[in-house]
Amino acid sequence: MSTNRIKVLVVDDSAVVRKLICEALSVDPEIEVVGTAVDPYAARDQIVALSPDVLTLDLEMPRMDGLTFLRILMEQRPVRVIVLSSLTRAGSDQALEALRLGAIDVLGKPGGSYSFGDLGPQLVAKIKAAAMARLTPLSPARAASPVAPPPSGRPLSSSGTNPPWPRPAGGGSRNLILLGASTGGTEALRDVLTRLPGNLPPIAIVQHIPAMFSKAFADRLDHQCAFRVHEAKDGDLLEPGHAFIAPGNFHMLVTRLGGQYRARVVDGPPVWHQRPAVDMLFKSAVEAGAGAQVIAGVLTGMGKDGAEGLLRLRERGAATFGQDEASCVVYGMPRAAWENGAAQRQVALQRIPEYICHQLEPAAASHPAAVRLTP
């Protein structure tokens, strides 16, 4: 056994699914399946005996459900976990709860046991990203409940009398916020969005997430944020006080018609092996002439998606940032955006809401009507 290979334990009550996962992972020489388990009790013994680097975890199992096992695992013996969840609304809600509890990523199970399709390469990529991820034990506060939303319209105050971030030069107005994230991004975005006031310019977000899960993600955020959060639909008007999540398996673009921004939801080939892709969103904003009106940033994630588009935005006057290494689950996308000069600043996760608010004109932070597009 090579010590350089990623050791994976497969936990699933279906013998067929265990076999399919093992076959999918066996094609990559950097990954080794060191064991399988049919339920959490068997998995507990395997974890102690084998010390796997990554677990794949089914959420619907006998004797103990996957969420209960994950909560115990992250409290007592944290390990990097990739969740495999059914492509249903209940499965999506469970998958998002698993991410909140500390799972690194989620992958949707195919409808039929024998239909694994393109999931093999996706699972390999997620295993490799998880192996690089920063592992954080589950705190009692995070285990208890999601973050409560701030009061609607509450201004986000900074510490100290002088703002720590420069505002736009030349008196320009920022009236569009663009965010992109991947591995670890669902929780990072939740941390950011739930601490923003409710009267900001429209926010457009690309999170690498499987189809079906994006709607549940948007709905969950909609109950936690001080503004409305939607899964984007083609033609949606991007209005102040609203955030739009790209639907899984579709690219989201920004267009501008008659002085208004609208979302375009389109099919198309993956970019950086991703659909939706952050670069598609960022580059579309450049083509829409947004440029200096934009605040854009990349959060935690594996790979380089978003770096090229962020650089184009910066070159046209946008305020750009990347999440800093210390607060990232995976410092991949923000690293790429920093190294190619796309990100003007690296910002710790807990300070991103403050950074965004200080990039806006003072009027934009207190008066929703001030956030308007000029024809």
* pLDDT tens sequence across 155-167: 343 333 333 444 4
Which residue numbers are catalytic?
A: 182, 208, 305
pLDDT value at 315 more than 70: yes
**What pLDDT is stored for residue 5 in this prediction?**
94
**What pLDDT is stored for residue 365 in this prediction?**
39
For the stretch 6-16, pLDDT in tens is 999 999 999 98
Domain at 6-137, CATH from 1.10.569.10, 3.30.1050.10, 3.90.226.10, 3.40.50.2300: 3.40.50.2300
Cβ neighbours of residue 124 closer than 8 Å, sequence gap 6 or more: 24, 25, 27, 28, 31
Percentage, residues of the chain above pLDDT 90: 69
Average pLDDT of the segment spanning 339-368: 81
Average pLDDT of the segment spanning 245-264: 93
> What 3 state SS string does the chain have?
CCCCCEEEEEECCCHHHHHHHHHHHHCCCCEEEEEEECCHHHHHHHHHHHCCCEEEEECCCCCCCHHHHHHHHHHHCCCEEEEEECCCHHHHHHHHHHHHHCCCEEEECCCCCCCCCCHHHHHHHHHHHHHCCCCCCCCHHHHHCCCCCCCCCCCCCCCCCCCCCCCCHHHCCCCEEEEEECCCHHHHHHHHHCCCCCCCCCEEEEECCCCCHHHHHHHHHHCCCCCEEEECCCCCECCCCEEEECCCCCEEEEEEECCEEEEEEECCCCECCECCCHHHHHHHHHHCCCHHHEEEEECCECCCCCHHHHHHHHHCCCEEEEECHHHCCCECHHHHHHHCCCCCEEECHHHHHHHHHHCCCHHHHHCHHHCCCCC
Greater confidence (78 vs 90) lies with: 78
**What pLDDT is stored for residue 143 in this prediction?**
59
Greater confidence (105 vs 171) lies with: 105
pLDDT value at 347 more than 90: yes
Distances (CA, A) of 179 to 247, 292, 352: 14, 15, 11
Query: Which residue from 361, 175, 176, 161 is spatially nearest to 281, judged by alpha carbons?
Result: 176
pLDDT value at 154 more than 80: no
Instruction: Look up residue 304 and give its amino acid.
Output: K
**What pLDDT is stored for residue 371 in this prediction?**
31
**What pLDDT is stored for residue 138 in this prediction?**
66
**What pLDDT is stored for residue 159 in this prediction?**
34
Return mean pLDDT, the chain. Answer: 86
**What pLDDT is stored for residue 168 in this prediction?**
44
- Residue spans in the chain of domains classed CATH 3.40.50.180: 169-370
> What whole-number distance in Å separates Cα of residue 283 and Cα of residue 39?
45
Average pLDDT of the segment spanning 151-158: 41
pLDDT value at 88 more than 60: yes
- Residue spans in the chain of domains classed CATH 3.40.50.2300: 6-137
**What pLDDT is stored for residue 233 in this prediction?**
97
Greater confidence (371 vs 262) lies with: 262
**What pLDDT is stored for residue 172 in this prediction?**
52
**What pLDDT is stored for residue 96 in this prediction?**
92
pLDDT value at 275 more than 90: yes
Domain at 169-370, CATH from 3.40.50.720, 3.40.1390.10, 3.40.50.180, 2.40.10.10: 3.40.50.180
**What pLDDT is stored for residue 163 in this prediction?**
39
Query: Which residue from 121, 127, 128, 130 is spatially nearest to 102, judged by alpha carbons?
Result: 130
**What pLDDT is stored for residue 116 in this prediction?**
65
Average pLDDT of the segment spanning 63-90: 89
